Structure 1
Amino acid sequence: MGKVVILGGNARSGKTTLAYKLQKQGFNRISFDLLNTYIEDGLNINFDDLSEEKKFNFFESVVNEAVSESENEDINIVVDMYDYLPKDIEKLSNKDKVETYFFAYPECTKEEIKYNVVHYAKPTDWIAQVNEEYLNSCVDRFYERNKILVEECNKYNINLIDTKSGDERNKIIEDLFNKIINK
């Protein structure tokens, strides 16, 4: 039987970095960033305009299919997502069949968050196309989201991975990678 690993959390916290590492080890990767783009471009539907119920139903459908595939086909799947929170994991009918990790940097200042957002961006990332004012508003949102992630992970007993900042971040991601691979 395979496994399903859900990686959620804040922007630029290491979710996709870990998802790519797992993909290189044979995990099938489901990227919600890509799924949202397909929905928006292919169906001409703005994902952000969907009701919370429709967003959750979509999420649960993807997770249920991933669990079914992992059980029936003996494959490992990593779900890489940003839009959902620990409270959404708690509502999943298959929550006991997935390993879930939320990434955040709750001890980081806004300046450190801004550094991470810019430092870990690729030239084609959204960050390259925004002005300073918009970037600062994103940093404010990420800062507040850290608080929500800590609170909800504690409330629902979900793994919170503090990816901090700088060199320590890479070691934290590597340690979690080894834990998932060897579990």
Structure 2
Amino acid sequence: MNIILFGPPGAGKGTQAKKLQNEYNIPHLSTGDIFRAAIKNETPLGVKVKSILDSGELVPDQTVVDLVADELHKEKYQYGYILDGFPRTVVQAKAFDAFLDKNDDNLDAFISLSVPENELIKRILSRGEGRTDDTEEKIRTRLNVYRKETEPVIKHYKKQDKVQEIDGSGTIDEIFERIKAALS
């Protein structure tokens, strides 16, 4: 099963992806985790990504697409995966569609988590990841970038009849039950 878990920063994609990974025994691929590891290890990509993220912007499409495509060629993803944080733009979505076509694969579910903005800000400020852009002003910038550049991805997948919108409010387990119901 190939799943995209979608939503704004703070929607709980990473938390839900880990629960899905355990429930369905398929690997979770988070572009954020890949970027954070690169930043922590101060790789050339990490240094580049850190400066982009510190300004509140998104990493360039081609960099992200190449990273995800390289990762998905690993054997552990041959029976499915949960993508979290990708695709973030329509360009990335179209590149991912082409990747699926080229590899004779398909997307089984696109789960979109909806959470009110004030709740997102509270969640991000309380999770304490220590990101230099975890201030209310920078979070609002990230949410504006999300609305402008990332929300159009939903329209792209709605045209393919793949989108299932899930209320991302409530407890972690309540949200998880909604996602499982959508996947069944």
Which bin holds the TM-score, normalised by the shorter protein?
0.5 to 0.7
Of the three residues 77, 82, 91, the one matched with 2:98 is: 91
The alignment partner of 1:78 has SS state of strand
* TM-score, structure 1 as length reference: 0.66
Distance 1:146 1:160 in 2: 16
CA RMSD in angstroms comes to 3.5
Contact 1:9 1:103 in 2 (8 A): yes
Letter in 2 for 1:38: A
Q: Match of 1:144? A: 148
Which ranges in structure 1 are unaligned for 5 or more consecutive residues?
Answer: none
CA distance 1:95–1:153, shift in 2 (3 Å): farther
The alignment partner of 2:73 has SS state of helix
Distance 1:126 1:17 in 2: 17
Q: Match of 2:31? A: 32
Of the three residues 17, 22, 25, the one matched with 1:19 is: 17
Contact 2:166 2:178 in 1 (8 A): no
| Runs of 4+ off more than 6 Å | none
* TM-score, structure 2 as length reference: 0.66
After TM superposition, the structure 1 = structure 2 runs for residues 1-183 of structure 1, keeping only pairs within 5 Å, are: 3-25=1-23, 26-42=25-41, 43-45=43-45, 46-47=48-49, 48=52, 52-65=61-74, 68-71=75-78, 77-82=81-86, 84-85=88-89, 86-92=93-99, 93-94=102-103, 96-105=105-114, 112-119=116-123, 122-126=126-130, 130-145=134-149, 147-163=151-167, 166-167=169-170, 171-180=174-183
Distance 2:140 2:60 in 1: 27
Identity %: 12
Contact 1:8 1:15 in 2 (8 A): yes
User: Matched residue pairs, number?
Assistant: 168
Letter in 1 for 2:33: L
- Output one character per residue of 1:122-161: Cα deviation in whole Å (capped at 9) or x when no partner: 4323578633322332232233356413322223443242
CA distance 1:118–1:83, shift in 2 (3 Å): farther
Which ranges in structure 2 are unaligned for 5 or more consecutive residues?
Answer: 53-57
